[in-house]
């Protein structure tokens, strides 16, 4: 059984101040359960591990349902001004074919863009925004007056986006320079991967790796060792160490991406007992 | 009453005991177990902490951490006298979960059967 170290009132106080600073402190709503789970999680950690988690939490980005509109607007404002010949945006959720029948956040975000926001956004300055199905894409290929806007909430490694775009280019024959990916939050790693392929990616928030990019040795090494010791307590597949493909993300959206350090979302300890993950998926 | 949960005479005492316990934990640098044993959740302890800081009973120093103010120490002594008049100087508070409700002098009290 995992040892219980308990948290001191000092640690609880630090966490409380952190929640207040991050504006996660709304009284009586779901954040109370997040706070309770957070404290319970810290109770399973020793002092060094607790300090590491509190430090990383300072950099944690939590995008709640109510924040989505703000982030979406920010990302929309980053769409580059289009050449005069571009008259239409064709909006689709950023999904692989395999995921196209699943309930994904990208479907919700694409739908959100149906509102007036995108149509009246002067920066985009296109005449028409079309929300359609993937099957319709072939019909619009005949003209050159459009761009394809693929929408999602998060890019981690860029693997899913890469796969989705490869499918579109191979099967439908869309040129990569006709595609714009719009996300609320992107890891720098995934962003660079896609941009290097000639794809335009716009975002509201770009995130670095939580430990490797944010700290220098010896602190970096210390945090990596500490995080390894924490992940040893959890039941994890190796591909999720430090987040999927070692993304080291510190992000929670409506659903927490598996790119985030699993200590924040994994719900099982090594012995199958419950791990009180504050941002469970 | 939930089994193992504390029982109190009235709402004021309920509040007082929380206040006393948190001041006690801060002053003697104890673990928060006693607060959890009172049935408080972590978020409630956080609110209680905010309350005592706001009332000027506790200072939250960046380096030294949480410390009672002079007013806080006075309040701790007062609450100790009010609630535990027979032993107000003690740094160990009686465990509330073992306190029994007040009964009349002719009432018969049978303790819960212990399992051996």
Domains of chain B: 11-85 (1.10.10)
Closest by Cα among A247, A255, A244 to A211: A247
Instruction: Give the list of residues 6+ apart from residue A256 with CB closer than 8 angstroms, or none.
Output: A264, A265, A279, A280, A281
Q: Partners of A183 in the beta sheet? A: A152
Residue in A9, A36, A39 closest to B26 by CB = A9
B90 and A CB contact within 8 Å: no
| Contact residues on chain B for A10, CB-CB shorter than 8 A | 65-66
The whole-model pTM stands at 0.84
pLDDT digits (tens, 9 = 90+) for A127-182: 677 777 777 777 776 777 888 899 999 999 999 999 999 998 888 888 888 899 99
**What's the farthest any 2 CA atoms get from each other in chain A?**
66
pLDDT value at B3 more than 70: no
Handedness of CA B52, B53, B59, B60 (dihedral sign): positive
Q: How far is A32 from chain B (nearest CA, A)?
A: 6
ipTM of this complex prediction, to 2 decimal places: 0.81
Number of Cβ within 10 Å of residue B103's Cβ equals 9
A196 half-sphere exposure, CB direction, 13 A CA radius: 8
d(CA A96, CA A94): 7
Cβ atoms within 10 Å, residue A11: 22
Least confident of A59-63, A197-201, B63-67: B63-67
Chain B, 28 to 87: residues with Cβ < 8 Å from chain A are 31-33, 41-43, 45-47, 49-50, 60, 65-66
Beta-bridge partners for B60:
B66
Which chain A residues touch B45 with a CB distance below 8 Å? 9, 12
Q: In whole angstroms, what is the distance from residue A222 CA to residue A126 CA? A: 51
Domains, chain A, ordered by start? 9-59+210-264 (no CATH), 66-207 (3.40.50)
pLDDT attached to residue A36: 93
- Contact criterion met (CB < 8 Å) for B65 and A39: no
């Amino acid at each position: 059984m995992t040892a219980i170290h308990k948290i001191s009132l000092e640690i609880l106080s630090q966490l409380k101040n952190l929640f207040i600073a991050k504006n996660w402190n709304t009284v009586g709503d779901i954040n109370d359960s997040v706070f309770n789970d957070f404290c319970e999680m810290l109770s399973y950690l020793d002092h060094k591990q607790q300090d590491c988690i509190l430090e990383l939490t300072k950099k944690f980005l939590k995008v709640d349902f109510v924040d989505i509109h703000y982030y979406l607007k920010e990302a929309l404002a980053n769409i580059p001004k289009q050449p005069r010949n571009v008259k239409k945006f064709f909006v689709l959720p950023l999904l692989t074919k395999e995921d196209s029948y699943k309930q994904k956040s990208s479907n919700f975000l694409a739908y959100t863009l149906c509102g007036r926001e995108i149509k009246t956004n002067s920066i985009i300055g296109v005449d028409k925004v079309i929300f359609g199905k993937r099957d319709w894409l072939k019909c619009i290929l005949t003209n050159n007056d459009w761009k394809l806007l693929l929408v999602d909430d998060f890019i981690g490694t860029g693997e899913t986006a890469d796969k989705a775009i490869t499918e579109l280019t191979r099967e439908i024959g869309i040129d990569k320079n006709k595609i714009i990916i719009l996300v609320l939050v992107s890891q720098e790693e995934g962003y660079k991967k896609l941009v290097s392929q000639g794809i335009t990616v716009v975002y509201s928030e770009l995130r670095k790796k939580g430990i490797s990019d944010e700290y220098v040795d010896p602190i970096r090494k210390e945090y990596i060792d500490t995080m390894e010791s924490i992940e040893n307590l959890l039941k994890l597949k190796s591909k999720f160490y430090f987040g999927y493909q070692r993304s080291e993300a510190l992000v929670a959206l409506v659903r927490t991406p598996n790119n985030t350090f699993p200590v924040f979302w994994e719900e099982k300890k090594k012995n199958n007992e419950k791990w009180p993950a504050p941002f469970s998926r | 009453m939930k089994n193992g949960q504390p029982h109190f005479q009235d709402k004021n005492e309920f509040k007082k005991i929380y206040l006393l316990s948190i001041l006690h934990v801060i002053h003697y640098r104890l673990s928060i177990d006693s607060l959890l044993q009172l049935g408080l959740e972590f978020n409630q302890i956080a609110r209680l902490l905010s309350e005592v800081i706001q009332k000027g009973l506790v200072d939250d120093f960046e380096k030294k951490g949480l410390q009672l103010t002079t007013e806080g120490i006075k309040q701790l002594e007062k609450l100790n006298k009010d609630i535990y008049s027979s032993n107000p100087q003690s740094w160990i508070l009686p465990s509330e979960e073992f306190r029994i409700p007040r009964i009349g002098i002719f009432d018969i009290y049978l303790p819960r059967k212990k399992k051996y």
